[in-house]
Amino acid sequence: MVQLRLEGELTRQHYHELNLNQLRLYGEKHAFALAIDDSGLTFLPDEREGDKSGQDASRASEVEERLSLREELIRLADEWIAAAEEEQEQRALVATKEELLAALWGTTLHPT
């Protein structure tokens, strides 16, 4: 079994740039089991957020936010749903979001 522990600070944008899916595929092919532990990650504000609030880059590192995989999945799914142009695509994304949450955590959300 291989366990990959991710630790450190990064922005949400950089987190979404990580190719965790490719890591999982590699793990499936080359190891009996692969576990990715991202509980050691901490989010920093995106540079865009610092610009909006008037904070300079040196103060951005003072603000930290714990990573919640569940909340990030919900936030990302909601972004995709909002960006979908067709109602059918929105319904499909909402259904996928609900199925994913149920499969991973045994919970559902109220429809968005």
Domain end (from 31, 47, 67): 67
Domain that holds residue 2: 1-67
Close Cβ partners of 80 (under 8 Å, ≥ 6 residues apart): 93
pLDDT at 92 (0 to 100):
93
Q: How many domains in the chain?
A: 2
Is the pLDDT at 111 greater than 60? The verdict is no
Antiparallel, parallel or unpaired: β 2-11 and 65-66: unpaired
51 and 103 inside one domain: no
55 and 12 inside one domain: yes
pLDDT at 69 (0 to 100):
78
Is the pLDDT at 5 greater than 70? The verdict is yes
29 and 16 inside one domain: yes
72 and 107 inside one domain: yes
pLDDT at 60 (0 to 100):
47
Confidence grade of residue 94 (pLDDT, cut at 50, 70, 90): very high
Tens digit of pLDDT for each residue in 39-82? 888 888 876 555 544 454 444 445 555 667 788 888 888 999 99
For the residues 72-95, what does the mean pLDDT come to?
90
Return d(Cα 89, Cα 75) in angstroms, integer: 17
1 and 52 inside one domain: yes
